[in-house]
A and B are shown apart, each in its own frame.
Chain A
């Protein structure tokens, strides 16, 4: 092994040509003796910035750095949204499987420098969510599909009332559009005499598939719909963006 002791000052000061610097880096990775010498030299070199006159960084730089980091986090956490057409066509269970695949796939494709442990946390969280949805579907029961209309064409949701006792009804949405601040999606249960009862109020979470629990019992209602409201309370006031078209017979 040829040591690089003679080049460590040059290396630490950044005065080696790139090829030579790479050679020293490679040597340091396998030579503890040279690495210890390099560390001692680095300690001195790292004091050199302290000799500089103070200079105020632009105020926007901090915001810029944090915005970039925040955007990276969002990229890691949000599954890709390029499967909208399949989501419209496939049955909900397959949509859920696609969502799970997307979550795993997105995590596998993220920048290699990102922390693996955090990728796994995100995937594990998404997988737990999807598994819970799939489990609800597996129990069987009644389904109402709500198709998006007007500007929400392509979006949709399936209201599922599981057969198992104790399991509350829930809606599995796909391809939900983002909403302006202050606006809410609201799920309504509609009876044959056109009475509208609020079943859930929520904001989209940006994922391809989103499950929302319905807080009202569905017995006695014939259809369902989704509106956009400004408030989590009160009577329906906003436009209908999804509605069920077919009422399947009770099993």
Chain B
């Protein structure tokens, strides 16, 4: 496989569409860890998370030609595939719902490596922006995105009207956007 480790994502995605295994390996090296963290957070179980990341990358391998730059960067596209697949798997499990984010963070701490800690420092501003939201908005966003709850389920779970759930999501995401812009961290994460 040719060395593609220094290539920007936009080049890699073209190579991926041309069935370049090196491009697939590089995209995994670049975002596989984040993909696994996301799948694990949603599913709360290692083997299921591994299966989801595997399926997501193979889906990207097959569908790279359908990627459109104007709809988002490569990292976001990959995470979107992982998220959809993980939530899909989660919703088929009727009895399991993942623990709140705080508990998940504690469970993950034992597995963290020095590299992971470094990465966490790099991205702490995003976490700080989320934690800076009012608790009701933050929990609504977290439970929807990481917990796989629909807005109807959230309304029942939180004991609030559907409109309130929608409002918390909208205002929360708007605040999050502004916070990231102010902190200067709202940027292209894809290389």
Contacts and interface: CB of A to CB of B under 8 A. Distances in A.
Interface in B135-191: 141, 144-146, 148-152, 154, 165-166, 169-170, 173, 176-177, 180, 186, 189
B112 interface: yes
A111 B131 CA distance: 44
A42 B144 CA distance: 14
Given A13-B141, A42-B76, A54 B115 contact: yes
Contact of B32 (A47, A57, A69): A57
Contacts of B141: 13, 48
Contact of A68 (B32, B54, B64, B112): B54
Given A50-B126, A54-B120, A57-B36, A73 B76 contact: no
A14 interface: yes
Nearest to A48: B145
B19 A73 contact: yes
Contacts of A57: 32-33, 35-36, 50, 53
Given A17-B152, A44-B176, A56 B116 contact: yes
B58 A115 contact: no
B116 A53 contact: yes
> Which bracket fits the contact residues of B?
35 or more
A39 B69 CA distance: 11
A174 B38 CA distance: 49
Contacts of B17: 115
Contacts of A66: 21, 24-25, 28
Given A47-B180, A69-B21, A53 B145 contact: no
A36 to B, nearest CB: 9
Interface string A55-98: 11110011011101110110000000000000000000000000
A192 interface: no
A115 B18 contact: yes
Nearest to B162: A10
Nearest to B123: A50
The prevalent SS among residues of A at the interface is helix
B173 A117 contact: no
Contact of A47 (B113, B126, B169): B126
A165 interface: no
A51 interface: yes
A54 B21 contact: no
A42 B176 CA distance: 12
Contacts of A216: none
Contacts of B113: 54, 56
Contact of B80 (A10, A15, A16, A42): A42
Given A9-B166, A9-B169, 13 more contacts: A10-B144, A39-B70, A43-B72, A48-B130, A49-B41, A50-B126, A52-B41, A55-B37, A57-B32, A61-B50, A68-B58, A72-B58, A113-B63
Interface of B: 17-19, 21, 24-25, 28-29, 32-38, 40-41, 46, 50, 53-54, 57-59, 61-65, 70-73, 75-76, 79-80, 83-84, 87, 101, 104-105, 108-109, 111-113, 115-117, 119-120, 123, 126-127, 130, 141, 144-146, 148-152, 154, 165-166, 169-170, 173, 176-177, 180, 186, 189
Which 9 A-B residue pairings sit nearest by Cβ, starting from the closest?
Answer: A54-B116, A46-B76, A57-B36, A113-B62, A15-B144, A50-B126, A53-B108, A50-B123, A51-B127
24 contacts: A9-B166, A9-B169, A10-B166, A14-B83, A14-B145, A15-B165, A17-B150, A39-B72, A43-B177, A43-B186, A45-B145, A46-B75, A50-B189, A51-B123, A53-B37, A53-B120, A55-B111, A56-B33, A58-B46, A62-B28, A65-B58, A69-B21, A69-B58, A111-B62
